[in-house]
Structure 1
Amino acid sequence: MRAVTPLSSRTAAEDASALAPFFADLAARHALADLTFVCIGTDRSTGDSLGPWVGTLLEERGFPRVVGTLREPCDADRLAEAVAALSPEATVVAVDACLGRPENVGRFLLSAGPLVPARSVGRSFPGIGHYSVAAIVNAVGPKPYWTLQTTSLYRVMGMARQIADAASLYLGSPHPILDNK
């Protein structure tokens, strides 16, 4: 088994257990107040809704800087404007769904580097993020839009929850339900 180096520029797909060391190392390098989560996707496509789901969960948990939620998605039409509005001092964590090999569905690509949104559907956007989390929500196929439309919502929501839970645990944001005693 190879050593896990959470904040490397690795490209191997990791299971959910890699989220904990990734966010723990991120927390050791940056305070939550210095991070901006850019959660890319749309609420109009099941597979591509992962980013907005993560953004919504993080916002509900009190994360101070989140771009892209179910209420206000950071989709292809709004991405350039959202990126332009970011503070130059912001440390950006980009979150997006992606398609991958069948054996990697349900796994994550974690990197100390940007992700390129919409690559699997043939769109061309610049890379975004100092750090990135890409969730492999389904297998790549000949019709990527159709694949994203027919992706399991259960899988997407589960993966979004795994990302938000790990980020909350290691970056110290309170959970509003658990902490309201």
Structure 2
Amino acid sequence: MNFKDKFSNEERRLKTEDPGMSETLSLHLKEWLPPSKKIVIACIGTDRSTGDAFGPLVGSMLKQQTLETFHLYGTLEEPLHALNLIEQINRIKRTHNHPYILAVDACLGKSASVGSVVLGKGSISPGSALKKDLPPIGDLHISGMVNVSGFMEHVVLQNTRLHTVMQMAAKVAAAIQLSDAKRVKHTMESAPVTTFKGTINRLPKTMK
């Protein structure tokens, strides 16, 4: 759970109720993610708090799908949270060579921004909304604005509507799935000659 108050030119903010939100977010992801490498998705949060379950919900929804260009960490079953974040970051770095990380986390902000999803360049600071000292994570991040900051954040998170968080998580998960399909298509279209030659080389001699 991070905190977001101000927005910059390095961010894109989308409203969950927008019917085209998932498609728009997927286009931004395709534009900003490096096309030639697999991406690590770190879905941060815990199912012990309704508001902070945004990240793990996204992770669990994605786990049910087949992703070709993403590696997934953080689900409701195996959450990525304050108690294991440092350990899991080290695990990611051991497993993947110079990983490009897309961090997904809930955040608190101004009342006018609640219900928004923010895609931003650079890292986020998990736990900052709750005054926790955790390492920053992410080369790119998606923050779901689940509730208002400023007073008794723990209570605010516990009283966040599950419907709001579920709706937001479903649209973000759909956007990542769409982005994955677009990235696969881009990879295939950018190397058609190589693919064609490889197919020819596998044909029986009588068909060449």
- Establish whether TM, by shorter chain, passes 0.5: yes
Structure 1 window deviating more from structure 2 (16-25 vs 97-106): it is: 16-25
Matched position secondary structure for 1:85: helix
What's the counterpart of residue 166 of structure 1? 175
Q: 1:23 to 1:112 in 2, by over 3 A?
A: farther
Q: Structure 1 residue 132 and structure 2 residue 136: aligned?
A: no
Residue 57 of structure 1: aligned partner: 61
Residue aligned with 1:172, SS: helix
User: Are residue 149 (structure 1) and residue 186 (structure 2) matched?
Assistant: no
Specify whether residues 26 and 131 from structure 1 end up closer, same or farther in structure 2 by C-alpha distance, changes over 3 A only: same
1:71 aligns with 2:82: no
Q: Once the 2 structures are TM-superposed, how far is the Cα of residue 14 of structure 1 from its aligned partner?
A: 3.1
> Secondary structure of the residue that 1:70 maps to in structure 2?
coil
CA contact (8 A) 1:24 1:171 kept: no
Which has the greater radius of gyration?
Answer: 2
Shift of 1:32: 8.8
What's 1:81 paired with?
87
Q: 1:74 and 1:111, CA in 2 relative to 1: closer, same or farther beyond 3 A? A: same
AA in 1 matched with 2:76: L
Q: Which residue of 1 aligns with 2:47?
A: 43
Q: CA deviation at 1:20?
A: 3.5
CA contact (8 A) 1:32 1:172 kept: no
Q: Say how many residue pairs are matched.
A: 165
Q: Percent identity over the alignment?
A: 32
Task: Give 4+ residue runs of structure 1 displaced > 6 Å after superposition.
Answer: none
Distance 1:72-1:20 versus aligned 2 partners, 3 A rule: same
- For structure 1, the residue ranges without an aligned partner over 5 or more in a row are 1-7, 174-181
Higher percent of residues as helix: 2
Aligned partners of 2:45 and 2:53 also within 8 Å: yes
Deviation of 1:25 (Å): 4.0
Deviation at 1:24, TM superposition (A): 2.3
